[in-house]
Amino acid sequence: MSATRWQVPVTALRRAVGARQREERTGTLGELRVVETRVPADAVTSVEVVLSAVVGGIEVVGTVGSTWRGVCRRCLRPIGGSIVAPVRELYRPGGGDDDTYPLGGDQLDLEPLARDALLLGLPLAPLCREDCRGLCPRCGAELADGPCACGPEPADARWAALDGLRSDPGAGGLPPPVGNG
């Protein structure tokens, strides 16, 4: 991958407030990972933006698209999908703080914008499907494949034990009422 793939020449644009310049770039960014979810190192990322010369800098508006891979948070099945992250950011000389990106010389670097947009766009707790039933907590079977051999949920056993306590007079609670005779 070329180091200049994400560099946009902006000399002319910077001289004309109000001017616009459309840019489309594609390439790889290296792996971007948040916990178990990642943009793989070989994923092709596309940046489609319009650069607008504004007073004090260049505004970049558009989308960053790529693909992600991860695991379902319930059943741990490997899954993946696409990301299309909207961007609206300001580049300005001396920038590079939380709100802006740096603009130096005659090149605008789209790479940090693309990386940030994808990191923000990664699903942190993805599901293979909305109603994924996850894994049996006891045997680890995928419940999407049907009930496992473990029988009723453990919760049932706990409630049954409580019911047993309630109906057992020797297990505490108030003594039986005594008449005033």
Looking at beta carbons only, is 151 or 164 nearer to Zn ion?
Answer: 151
> 154-170 burial string, b = 16+ CB within 10 Å, else e?
eeeeeeeeeeeeeeeee
Q: Which residue has the tokens 């970049």?
A: 60
The strand ranges marked E within the chain are 7-9, 20-27, 32-34, 37-39, 45-54, 57-71, 78-92, 100-102, 107-109
The interface region with Zn ion, picked from 33-41, 117-125, 145-153, 162-170 by CB under 5 A, is 145-153
The interface region with Zn ion, picked from 18-26, 104-112, 148-156, 170-178 by CB under 5 A, is 148-156
Among 26, 81, 138, 151, binds Zn ion (CB under 5 A): 138
CB of 77 to Zn ion, least distance (A): 5
CB of 161 to Zn ion, least distance (A): 20
Instruction: Name which of 65, 66, 55, 49 is nearest 103 in CA terms.
Output: 55
CA distances from 173 to 40, 157, 158, 180 (A): 60, 22, 19, 21
The interface region with Zn ion, picked from 7-15, 143-151, 162-170, 171-179 by CB under 5 A, is 143-151
Looking at beta carbons only, is 138 or 158 nearer to Zn ion?
Answer: 138
Binding to Zn ion in span 94-133, by CB under 5 A: 128, 132
Please return the burial class of 112, using the count of CB atoms within 10 Å of its CB with bins 0-12, 13-18 and 19+.
middle
Binding to Zn ion in span 40-99, by CB under 5 A: 72, 74-75, 77
Residues forming contacts to Zn ion in the complex (CB under 5 A) are 72, 74-75, 77, 128, 132, 136, 138-139, 141, 148, 150
